[in-house]
Amino acid sequence: MHPFPLISQSPSSFVVKKKMVGLFRLVSGCPGPSGFGSASTAQEVTEGIDGTNLTALVTGGASGIGLETSRVLALRGVHVIIGARNMKAANEAKNKIVRENPRARIDVLELDLCSTNSIRSFADNFIALHLPLNILINNAGIMFCPFQLSQDGLEVQFATNHIGHFLLTNLLLDTMKNTVKATGIQGRVVNLSSIAHNYCYKKGIRFHKINDKQGYSEKRAYGQSKLANILHANELSRRLQVKLEKELLKFFSFFLWKNVPQGAATTCYVALHPRLNGVTGKYFADCNEMRPSSYARNESLARELWEFSNKLISSVSVP
């Protein structure tokens, strides 16, 4: 986990001080204001939390950070739905969790975030189950891919990491709102981002060259998609508050340079911890609130991305 707060237009000495504190916390595992730090694990940050009345959807929940997130949520009593492209791996993940925890409630559904048709089918199948949805964890992602286009003709990292989750969230938002109304429990949407959101293209998002091979950088394209994850959640938070629908909450986390139990800690913390009731539109690292890049805090860029994403989806698929 990269711990450095990202501070713009600040005195350099202040930035250096913050970076030194962040480096110390990373190396030592020293906890931050939340009481947790880089060495905390997902089990530790959710200790004592009862999630038996909650249902969560975890994209990419069959491996890595997503699998650990699914396992720990199930350990806390949450009914977990794993959305995964590889159904064999998803069922193996389910069986592994249930062997460890026979009381775990785990279901799996096929989901390919690189395909808008698959995303729509997944949403239809989930809604048909008539399940509540308290927590949506947009976890799945790909990284540093050579240039290629998705089935819908979109640059594959942007398609999978941002557009897929943007569409999925929009399709399931009414289900989350209905769950809030029926249960009185606030919903949470967790978008996983990365410190790599700082390393993006000039001006943040290549709106007019999103699918162009010329000038493509696999690392900047990844950073662009991770910036989009934060901007998406910021704009969704703003829109819900404008509509006085504050029951849906947004949180942001990133993970780098950690083992799997530590990597899933921030995700599980923001998904379950009661301390964050009422918190929205924030960016978390090591289970503590951090300040993202200036691009990530740009409201105009967030609004432009929202409209661009809607138009892009409309151009590649028919509802």
Instruction: Read off the pLDDT of residues 44-87 as tens digits, 9 standing for 90 and up.
Output: 999 999 999 999 999 999 999 999 999 999 999 999 999 999 99
Fold of 40-241+260-316: Rossmann fold (3.40.50)
Q: List, for residues 4-56, the tens digit of each pLDDT value.
A: 222 222 233 333 344 444 445 554 567 889 999 988 999 999 999 999 999 99
Q: Domain-by-domain residue ranges, the chain?
A: 40-241+260-316
Contact 226, 197 (CB under 8 A): yes
Residue that wins the pLDDT comparison between 237 and 242: 237
From residue 47, give the alpha-carbon distance in Å to each of 39, 50, 72, 78, 272. Answer: 15, 9, 10, 13, 10
**What is the radius of gyration, based on Cα positions, of the chain?**
19
- Predicted TM-score (pTM) of the model is 0.88
**Residue length, the chain?**
319
Which entry of 216, 222, 269, 283 is annotated as an active-site residue?
216
Enter the tokens of residue 68: 């650990």
State the DSSP H helix or E strand holding residue 254, giving kind and residue range, or none if neither: strand 248-254
Q: Is 216 a catalytic residue?
A: yes
**Average per-residue pLDDT in the chain?**
86
Higher local confidence (pLDDT), 281 or 23: 281
